[in-house]
Chain A
């Protein structure tokens, strides 16, 4: 594998990640699916048939991969690009050996992908402050930069470079063990960032509440919603359905009350 090939594969690792510059329809759900990803690696490495053989295995094993609410357990895009490219670099004609290598490389790649996703999920918090400033200063272009620009710069740095490092230290160097950038992040930092991220969700809720919670009685309704999930464990669909039912009943009561006022009944 040449450095240029490694650069190209790493570029597609980024493009196929969640929230890349081409959007999730062209990126994560297209360039990031193993069927397509292995095809692209095959084109870059000049061996489409073997790449597709490997890609089909990965695709079959991860057919129903869903990322509910951004909870990524396994980065399919990262796993496929690193897995197929890494294995192809060592391919000598024995497909069984190459397949085994593909699983090994994809496991490393998938794990790096998850670590980077978790990192980006916290680092991107910086975008919110920029977007907020844009909103407050009547500057929609700054809001656009916060999302499409800054968000993608962070995404690119966190996806492209770790992929390049692992590919260059393994496939390009001809070694089967290389430098895993994700493992170089100290565990205390990961713990702090995870804690920070979990707590920052409170700011998202707090800002929303500033739009909705204006009277004392509103606090009780908020608390009721909280307890429906904390105590009764409703999922988000059930919660919304319940909320709608309550809102309709409340609306009906309010309307009939005002009608009786108008007609004097």
Chain B
């Protein structure tokens, strides 16, 4: 029996710093902070799957998928993924479980992070430093300087501890299921969770409207908005169909993402043109 694969402390720290400095770079409409997470996970994947190129490539691809969180207190998430990847490298976890946990963490960690940290802790710290500035008179620069230096250091320490906490939870959480020998059931149950969340994210994140206004001759008031009509039949039907279409092209027809991106750009151009032609956009 081969030795258990463990992420070395050095690699873990490297992953943390990659996340800390580039957790918001290349944010975009497709995977939000997916690239940032993928980037941060690279040293972990490289180390865990050092002897298996196929597994490594699969790991890189898995870590690049859609992800979002409040990136500071949300540092617990990449920690959890490190733990689960370690479990996976030791045959204790599956790709489905990792993907499902990943999407399931998006909503809760974003909500908790934004309301608890960004909307509560940061304003309190800022208010404190503002009060110092007001009280300090000529020495008003003390307030901003205090925040400038204190905030990143405090946040960094908190984020690193949350990361380690997440890692521990990831490894031990999976280990508990392994001990009961129920990885198959866990995979099935987590797939259900992942699908429900991705379904919901599709409804809230994918935007597609048909900007077509059908105006009968002389009857401006009777104009029919095609998009409103479609949404009355089934809300967000078009985003749903688009997502399923893209899935079909990517997963079944093996289209390259670049080709799909090109197709979507052409569609976007056509739709915008339609909008201008029928007078929805002016």
Contacts and interface: CB of A to CB of B under 8 A. Distances in A.
Interface residues of B, number: 124
A207 B21 contact: no
A21 B189 contact: no
Contacts of A208: 65-66, 99, 103, 194, 198
A23 B257 contact: no
A138 B159 contact: no
A236 B107 contact: yes
Contacts of A129: 257-258, 261
B203 A226 contact: yes
A205 B198 contact: yes
Interface residues of A, number: 114
B196 A243 contact: yes
Contacts of A120: 27-28
- The secondary structure that dominates the B interface is helix
Contacts of A199: 206-208, 242, 264, 267-268
Interface in A22-63: 22-31, 33, 35-36, 38-39, 42, 48-49, 52, 55-56, 59-60, 63
Contacts of B34: 128, 204
Nearest to B106: A236
Nearest to B35: A147
A24 B194 CA distance: 28
Given A39-B144, A121-B28, A236-B204, 15 more contacts: A19-B25, A27-B24, A59-B126, A128-B257, A136-B61, A144-B42, A192-B268, A192-B272, A197-B28, A199-B267, A204-B31, A205-B247, A212-B194, A230-B235, A239-B200
Interface of A: 18-31, 33, 35-36, 38-39, 42, 48-49, 52, 55-56, 59-60, 63-64, 66-70, 120-125, 127-129, 131-132, 134-136, 138, 140, 143-144, 146-148, 150-152, 154-155, 187-188, 191-193, 195-213, 218, 221-231, 234-237, 239-244, 246-248, 250-251, 254-255, 258
